[in-house]
């Protein structure tokens, strides 16, 4: 990277952070919001499950004001959660009547708040499905909501030889029954459950990661409407490859745009022309990793970051390492610099997204993720091979 004295020619005031902020906001709007309905009584483990999958405390997700008695809606940019209380014994209304009332409340809300998938949570220590449960599941299915029955707080046993985990026998038997339910006389029951997933939000003794969550995430994505799948990929925190698959086309598009901008080579001193392209790319990737840079970094800090990782600073640092290369940025160099920068920003975003790096330390940490000379050369080589 260029030295501080070399970068002094590019000041934060010369970097417009608006391409980043506009691209970030536009991306969030285009991806929309995934809405999950989660059903279950107190103590079933709903909050732990949401925190494990989405990295959010259910009680602190966005604005969590009660919509009506028994129904709460929590939301932020990419995720909405409808928390529906389970049926309480002693209620004057039937489970179907209660749920029907709740679903009417939800149907009257804006389109962006409508339910995509339901997690119906049942405590694995009490492996049974009551008549009220069955009524409520049928009611949600009739409303067009796919239901995943989630058995929570499963006490897994790990085979010391194979490493395979198994659930208690009664839980396994309950799952088998749920997948092919019959009544006491062996007559098939209509319980419209799409999937049955066994989960634990935490490892044994409350430490480490839970189990069954990856399967839950995969099946939830499968059942999600096509136009909300990307919102779910963004909201969840467990499957990073999904996010990379979304980010890499953005990097490729930005690299091609940078190459087009440099179709007529320009001096390094004019390389700031690349900054809006690269900042737009960064803003879109930040949306995929659900990073709230606009609220957590001041505009000045964001602009200063732009000084470090875009335009002239990158071009100068690259040409400094190639004796006799001159000081003119061509299409190949602009493409490679932007592609390598995108990969570096992707890696940094993942570190923030997974909680391994504090957002307020991005500026001082960028050097660990900034494109190296070899990264740029590799991107130039890949581009040549792709064209041949």
Question: Percentage of residues in the chain with pLDDT exceeding 90?
Answer: 38
Confidence of residue 167 (pLDDT cuts 50, 70, 90): very high
Confidence of residue 297 (pLDDT cuts 50, 70, 90): low
Q: In this structure, what token pair is assigned to residue 340?
A: 């390598």
Give the Cα separation of 375 and 225 in Å (integer): 38
Q: pLDDT at position 96, please?
A: 76
pTM, two decimals, is: 0.83
Cα R_g (the chain), whole angstroms: 26
Confidence of residue 319 (pLDDT cuts 50, 70, 90): low
What mean pLDDT comes out for the span 343-351?
88
CB within 8 Å of 180: residues ≥ 6 apart:
188
In three-state secondary structure terms, 120 is strand
Comparison of pLDDT for 73 and 14, the residue scoring more: 73
What mean pLDDT comes out for the span 333-358?
86
Give the Cα separation of 151 and 45 in Å (integer): 10
Comparison of pLDDT for 280 and 203, the residue scoring more: 280
Give the Cα separation of 61 and 66 in Å (integer): 13
Give the Cα separation of 302 and 281 in Å (integer): 14
What mean pLDDT comes out for the span 329-345?
85
Domains of the chain, earliest start first: 4-27+239-387 (no CATH), 32-235 (3.40.50.300)
CB within 8 Å of 114: residues ≥ 6 apart:
35, 106, 107
Question: Percentage of residues in the chain with pLDDT exceeding 70?
Answer: 73
Q: pLDDT at position 18, please?
A: 83
Q: Label the pairing between strands 66-68 and 147-152.
A: unpaired
In three-state secondary structure terms, 97 is helix
Confidence of residue 356 (pLDDT cuts 50, 70, 90): confident
- Name the CA dihedral angle for 9, 10, 14, 20, rounded to a multiple of 10 degrees: 170
Q: In this structure, what token pair is assigned to residue 382?
A: 């890949």
68 has pLDDT over 70: no
- Max distance between CA atoms of the chain, in angstroms, equals 87
Q: pLDDT at position 44, please?
A: 87
Q: What is the pLDDT of residues 93-121, one digit of tens each?
A: 777 788 888 899 899 999 999 999 999 99
Q: pLDDT at position 265, please?
A: 81
Give the Cα separation of 167 and 175 in Å (integer): 10
In three-state secondary structure terms, 310 is coil
What mean pLDDT comes out for the span 161-182?
91
Strands, E assignment, the chain: 34-39, 66-68, 71-75, 79-84, 117-123, 147-152, 157-158, 165-166, 195-198, 200-202, 209-211, 266-267, 328-329
Nearest to 200 by CA among 275, 123, 252, 254: 123
Confidence of residue 246 (pLDDT cuts 50, 70, 90): very high
In the numeric block, the tokens 């659930």 are attached to 167
Give the Cα separation of 223 and 218 in Å (integer): 9
Angle at 323 between CA 322 and CA 324, to 5 degrees: 110
Read off φ and ψ for residue 34, nearest 5 degrees: -95, 130
99-102 long-range contacts, Cβ below 8 Å, gap at least 24?
A: 99/135, 99/136, 99/139, 99/140, 100/139, 102/68, 102/70, 102/71
Q: pLDDT at position 8, please?
A: 42
Q: In this structure, what token pair is assigned to residue 192?
A: 């419209």
Comparison of pLDDT for 35 and 348, the residue scoring more: 35
Q: Over the chain, what is the mean pLDDT?
A: 80
CB within 8 Å of 126: residues ≥ 6 apart:
none
Q: Is 226 exposed, middle or buried (0-12, 13-18, 19+ CB in 10 A)?
A: exposed
């Amino acid at each position: 990277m260029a030295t501080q004295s070399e970068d002094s020619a590019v000041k934060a005031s010369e970097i417009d952070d608006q391409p980043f902020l506009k691209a970030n906001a536009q991306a969030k709007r285009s991806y929309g919001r995934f809405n999950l309905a989660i059903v279950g009584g107190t103590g079933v483990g709903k909050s732990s499950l949401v925190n494990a999958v989405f990295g959010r405390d259910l009680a602190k997700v966005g604005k969590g004001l009660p919509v009506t008695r028994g129904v709460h809606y929590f939301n932020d940019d990419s995720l909405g959660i409808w928390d529906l209380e389970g049926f309480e014994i002693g209620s004057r209304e039937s489970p179907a009547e209660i749920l029907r009332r709740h679903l009417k409340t939800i149907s009257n809300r804006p389109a962006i708040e409508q339910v995509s998938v339901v997690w119906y949570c049942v405590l694995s220590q009490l492996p049974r499905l009551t008549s009220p449960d069955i009524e409520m599941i049928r009611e949600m299915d009739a409303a067009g909501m796919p239901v995943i029955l989630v058995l929570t707080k499963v006490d897994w046993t790990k085979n010391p030889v194979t490493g395979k985990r198994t659930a208690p026998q009664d839980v396994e038997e309950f799952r088998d029954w749920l997948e092919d339910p019959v009544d006491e006389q062996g007559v098939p029951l209509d319980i419209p459950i799409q999937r049955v997933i066994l989960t634990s939000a935490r490892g044994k003794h409350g430490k480490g990661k839970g189990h069954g969550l990856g399967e839950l995430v995969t099946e939830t994505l499968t059942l999600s409407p096509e136009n909300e799948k990307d919102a779910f990929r963004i909201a969840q925190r467990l499957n990073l490859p999904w996010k990379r698959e979304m980010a890499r086309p953005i990097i490729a598009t930005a690299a091609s745009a940078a190459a087009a901008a440099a179709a007529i080579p320009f001096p390094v001193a004019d390389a700031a022309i690349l900054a809006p392209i690269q900042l737009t790319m960064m803003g879109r990737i930040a949306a995929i990793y659900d990073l709230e840079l606009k609220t957590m970094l001041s505009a000045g800090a964001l602009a200063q970051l732009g000084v470090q990782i875009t335009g002239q600073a990158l071009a100068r640092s690259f040409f400094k390492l190639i004796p006799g290369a001159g000081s003119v940025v061509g299409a190949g160099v602009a493409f490679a610099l932007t592609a390598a920068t995108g990969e570096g920003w992707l890696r940094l975003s993942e570190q923030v997204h997974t909680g391994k790096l504090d957002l307020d330390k991005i500026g001082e940490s960028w050097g660990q993720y900034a494109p190296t000379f070899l990264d740029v050369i590799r991107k130039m080589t890949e581009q040549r091979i792709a064209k041949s």
